[in-house]
Amino acid sequence: MNWEGTATGFGALFLTSTFVGGTKSGTFSLCMTSFLDNGDGIDGNGSGRFESIGKNRWRSQAVTTMSDGRRVSGEGEIDLASRTWKGKISELS
């Protein structure tokens, strides 16, 4: 699935994720590129898991390693019908 949007501290995001498992739960990998407001770019690769939380909805959790050395956690909900993700991205220490 391909995603695009914006996130605080990341600017414009473009991400591709690949899901493995069933409709109720499984794992996924992701590859992303972020274009910061200052014009710089950051890439990242990560993996996570998902689980069904209702009709056409998954809860997702992932950890991504960024090209600048940071690791970030993403937790949120995927609406499969509208192909949207809403959640929180936090830097891991």
Q: Dump pLDDT digits (tens) for 33-82.
A: 999 989 999 999 999 999 999 999 999 999 999 999 999 999 999 999 99
The range of the structural domain enclosing residue 78 comes to 2-92
Query: At residue 77, what are phi and psi to the nearest 5 degrees?
Result: -125, 135
Say if residue 93's pLDDT is above 90: no
Question: Total structural domains in the chain?
Answer: 1
Q: Is 26 exposed, middle or buried (0-12, 13-18, 19+ CB in 10 A)?
A: middle
User: How many whole angstroms from its chain centre is CA 51?
Assistant: 14
